[in-house]
């Protein structure tokens, strides 16, 4: 594994950084304050190939690697972690359709998803089935050439604005083996949405419940075969976890850069803040921790690309480490601003609020520890 980006990867990173600098960063605070979901900006990202990052070229995708993807998501998050994270979720759905869909499904959905003319949401979590996702109760019942879905999904990013919902629903017995995956368009009768949640962060993307009341979809909406949904969901989450880890690194890097700029200008006791050795040591620790997290995420992404047997364990490790590190670095950056860091004007408090949820979603960091510990214990059995 090389620790240097290739020439192509540098070009991809620079493209994403330019988009983050020009399209995301200038608007991030306003979008957060107004709870504005910038659909036109998302479609501009789609036009640059960011709607189907690891989707095959046959259906309009960019056909990039998972390593390339984490480079992109880190760069995008330097402009706005909220929007970068939604693009990650959208790509998770598009990637699952590409990996597990049949030819008709790929032809029907992927071209629209890759351009982000259609936006997508991932619907696994329920009010009583968060960390214990295999306990979900949403049910799909076969009725002739259709399935009828009933249930509700909670904490769904993009809900109400997205055009396609990848819904995990129970078609069989209790447990993971009874779960199937369905592609549900927004205009499906019986599909509705709860109120936009009031959240600590991630305000530039809507979060709503997805409600299914006798929602009838054609049998052709089943992704793969019955009983395969939970396996699909977990495979999707391996990639989602390293994406969100990369988003944490990018957000934290932006916070650190803001702090460095501030410290070079702000004076106290006759010198700028960046001249104080105690603060220099803190900067050194923050930069070191971020570099360690970045290296770990690159390692996990490489394992996922190689289809390594250790990929799930490494993705869980990287997600736990990078999201904890990212939040801590952003929080320390806010401290370096003093009272100004607590004001919205500088954008640092928004980054802190946005990154906090990364320790919860795509599997809480407690669940990441459970995955890792089970792997370690099993290795010694």
Per-residue model confidence (pLDDT) at position 150:
98
Q: How far is CA 213 from CA 10, 29, 196, 218, in A?
A: 48, 37, 19, 15
Please state whether beta strands 191-193 and 271-272 pair in parallel, antiparallel, or not at all (unpaired): unpaired
Check whether residue 243 and residue 322 sit in a common domain: yes
CATH number of the structural domain spanning residue 81: 1.10.540.10
Q: What is the mean pLDDT of residues 9-27?
A: 98
Whole-prediction pTM: 0.96
Q: What is the mean pLDDT of residues 15-42?
A: 98
Check whether residue 114 and residue 127 sit in a common domain: no
* CA 92/CA 66 separation, integer angstroms: 11
Q: What is the mean pLDDT of residues 147-173?
A: 97
Question: Out of 85-99, 119-133, 274-288, 332-346, which region has the weakest mean confidence (pLDDT)?
Answer: 119-133
- Is residue 1 domain-resident? no
**54 in Cβ contact with 62 (< 8 Å):** yes
* CA 289/CA 300 separation, integer angstroms: 17
Last residue of a domain, one of 91, 119, 147: 119
| Number of neighbouring beta carbons within 10 Å of residue 342 | 13
pLDDT digits (tens, 9 = 90+) for 258-291: 999 999 999 999 999 999 999 999 999 999 999 9
Q: How far is CA 262 from CA 191, 258, 274, 331, 368, in A?
A: 48, 6, 9, 15, 35
pLDDT at 2 over 80: no
Scanning the structure block, which residue is given the tokens 């391996």?
238
Last residue of a domain, one of 211, 227, 243: 227
Check whether residue 83 and residue 108 sit in a common domain: yes
**347 in Cβ contact with 258 (< 8 Å):** yes
Check whether residue 125 and residue 102 sit in a common domain: no
The phi, psi pair for 271, rounded to 5°, reads: -150, 160
Provide the pLDDT confidence category of residue 129 given band limits of 50, 70 and 90.
confident
Provide the pLDDT confidence category of residue 1 given band limits of 50, 70 and 90.
low
- Is residue 2 domain-resident? no
Per-residue model confidence (pLDDT) at position 328:
98
| Number of neighbouring beta carbons within 10 Å of residue 109 | 23
pLDDT digits (tens, 9 = 90+) for 162-197: 999 999 999 999 999 999 999 999 999 999 999 999
Nearest of 79, 74, 15 to residue 258 by alpha carbon = 79
CATH number of the structural domain spanning residue 294: 1.20.140.10
Last residue of a domain, one of 169, 200, 227: 227
| Number of neighbouring beta carbons within 10 Å of residue 89 | 25
Active site residues: 362
Check whether residue 280 and residue 357 sit in a common domain: yes
Check whether residue 294 and residue 175 sit in a common domain: no
**Cα R_g (the chain), whole angstroms:** 21
pLDDT digits (tens, 9 = 90+) for 60-95: 999 999 999 999 999 999 999 999 999 999 999 999
pLDDT digits (tens, 9 = 90+) for 197-217: 999 999 999 999 999 999 999
Question: How many structural domains compose the chain?
Answer: 3
Domain that holds residue 223: 121-227
**297 in Cβ contact with 322 (< 8 Å):** yes
Check whether residue 76 and residue 129 sit in a common domain: no
* Structure tokens, 301: 């992404």
Q: Half-sphere exposure (CA, 13 Å, Cβ side) for 367? A: 18
| Number of neighbouring beta carbons within 10 Å of residue 379 | 9
Task: Write down the mean pLDDT value for the chain.
Answer: 96
Check whether residue 70 and residue 85 sit in a common domain: yes
- Is residue 323 domain-resident? yes
């Amino acid at each position: 594994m090389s620790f240097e980006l290739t020439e192509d990867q540098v070009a991809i990173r620079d493209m994403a950084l330019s988009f983050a600098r020009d399209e995301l960063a200038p608007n991030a605070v306003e979008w957060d304050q107004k709870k504005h979901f910038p659909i036109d900006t998302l479609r501009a990202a789609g036009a640059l190939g960011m709607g189907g990052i690891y989707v095959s070229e046959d259906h309009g995708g960019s056909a990039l690697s998972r390593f390339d993807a984490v480079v992109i998501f880190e760069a995008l998050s330097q402009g706005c972690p909220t929007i970068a994270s939604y693009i990650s979720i959208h790509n998770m759905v598009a990637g699952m359709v590409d990996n597990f869909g049949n030819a008709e499904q790929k032809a029907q959905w992927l071209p629209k998803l890759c351009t982000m003319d259609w936006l997508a949401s991932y619907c696994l979590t329920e009010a009583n089935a968060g960390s214990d996702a295999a306990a979900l109760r949403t049910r799909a019942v076969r009725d002739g050439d259709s399935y009828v879905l009933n249930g509700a999904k909670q904490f769904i990013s993009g809900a109400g604005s997205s055009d396609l919902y990848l819904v995990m629903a129970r078609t069989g017995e209790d447990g993971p083996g009874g779960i199937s995956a369905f592609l549900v368009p927004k205009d499906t009768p019986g599909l509705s949405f709860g109120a936009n949640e009031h959240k600590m962060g991630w305000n530039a993307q809507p979060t709503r419940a997805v409600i299914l009341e006798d929602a009838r979809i054609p049998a052709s909406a089943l992704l793969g075969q019955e009983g395969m949904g939970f396996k699909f969901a977990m495979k999707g989450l391996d990639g989602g976890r390293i994406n969100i880890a990369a988003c944490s690194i990018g957000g934290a890097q932006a916070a650190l850069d803001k702090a460095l700029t501030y410290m070079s200008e702000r004076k106290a006791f006759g010198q700028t803040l960046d001249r104080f050795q105690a603060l220099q040591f803190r900067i050194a620790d923050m930069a070191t921790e971020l570099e360690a997290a970045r290296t770990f995420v690159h390692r996990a992404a490489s394992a996922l690309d190689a289809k390594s047997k250790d990929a799930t364990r490494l993705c869980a490790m990287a997600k736990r480490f990078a999201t904890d590190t990212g939040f801590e670095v952003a929080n320390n950056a806010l401290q370096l601003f003093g009272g100004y860091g607590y004001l919205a004007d500088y954008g640092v408090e928004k980054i802190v609020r946005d990154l906090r949820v990364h320790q919860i979603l795509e599997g809480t960091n407690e669940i990441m520890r459970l995955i890792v510990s089970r792997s370690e214990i099993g290795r010694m059995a």
